[in-house]
Structure 1
Amino acid sequence: MSSHQTTAADGFGYTLTRTLDASAGAVWRAWTTPGQYARWAGAVEGSVEMDVRPGGAWKATMVTPDGGRFPLTGSYLETAENRRLVIGMDFPGKPEPATMTMELHRQDDDRTRIVLRQTCDTAEERDMAEQGSTMLLDSLGAFLADAR
């Protein structure tokens, strides 16, 4: 698995890129199947619900490295199976959901380049979101490698 990251010119967004040793279909299923997502993303088993279609809702209770639990909710803004997923994430006190875009690009050798993008309101939010997304990509890569 290779890694690359950049920060947006405005200072409040990020882009993370990885090449995963899995097909685009396997990456898509890992990200959009509740049981698989719970295993690699650090969610409480049975807490993940996904209605993967534009306007569909999702929710999960995540577990932090120190054992804390916090609920996440949101909706799917755009879905293009095995290619693109745009996710809205609800945050208390914010009038609009944060948006994360995941793009999948098939490689010739049955590998997939995944690109995650998110724009945040502050540098602190960006840093926290980027750290969380980096951890997600690390866990996704390990999950997919174990599945081979």
Structure 2
Amino acid sequence: MTTERTTPANGFSYTLTRTLDAPAARVWQAWTTPDQYAQWAHAAPGSVELDVRPGGAWKATMVTPDGAEFPLTGTYVEVDEPTHLVLGMDVPGRPTPETMTMELTDQGPRNTVITLRQTCDTAEARDMAEQGSGMLLDGLEGFLADGAKG
């Protein structure tokens, strides 16, 4: 996994890139199907709802390794199946959502490069978001590997 961190004039950004052993359509399905997303994204059972269309709402309650739960909500800003998602994420106390972009690039029949990008208001928020996104990518990679064996 490669990580890039920048501090543009308008915020604190990170970019995470990883090559996954699955076609882009399979990665897209794992990211946009509620029951599959719940299996790899560290979500509380029954908490995932995904209306994958521009303006559609999403929500999930994430569970940290120590058992703490964090409810997350937002909307889909852009949807271009199976390569591009922009998710708006509601942040308490922030008047507008933060956005995270997910890009999928096919690198052959079983290799997809996934890139996650997000800009946050503070270095602390960026570090927390980057850590959470890294956990998501770890879970997604494991889920896809388990599926490839079955």
Gaps of 5+ in 1: none
Runs of 4+ in 1 over 3 A off after TM superposition: none
RMSD between superposed Cα atoms in Å: 1.0
- Counterpart for residue 3 of structure 2: 5
Q: For residues 70 and 7 of structure 1, what CA distance do their matches in structure 2 show?
A: 24
- Counterpart for residue 52 of structure 1: 52
What displacement does 1:69 show? 1.3
Q: For residues 123 and 56 of structure 2, what CA distance do their matches in structure 1 show?
A: 29
Q: For residues 113 and 131 of structure 2, what CA distance do their matches in structure 1 show?
A: 19
C-alpha distance after superposition, 1:47-95 (max 9, x if no partner): 1111100000001111111111121100000001110000000011110
Scaled by the length of structure 2, the TM-score of the pair is: 0.94
C-alpha distance after superposition, 1:100-131 (max 9, x if no partner): 00000001242100000000001111111111
Gaps of 5+ in 2: none
Matched residue SS, 1:7: strand
- For 1:109-120, what aligned pairs fall within 5 Å after superposition? 109-120=109-120
- Counterpart for residue 71 of structure 2: 71
Q: Does the 8 Å CA contact 2:22/2:109 hold for their aligned counterparts? A: no
- For 1:30-109, what aligned pairs fall within 5 Å after superposition? 30-109=30-109
Matched residue SS, 1:45: coil
Structure 2 residue identity aligned to 1:78: E
How many correspondences in the alignment? 146
Matched residue SS, 1:115: strand
Scaled by the length of structure 1, the TM-score of the pair is: 0.95
Which stretch shifts more, 116-125 or 7-16?
7-16
Q: Does the 8 Å CA contact 2:23/2:108 hold for their aligned counterparts? A: no
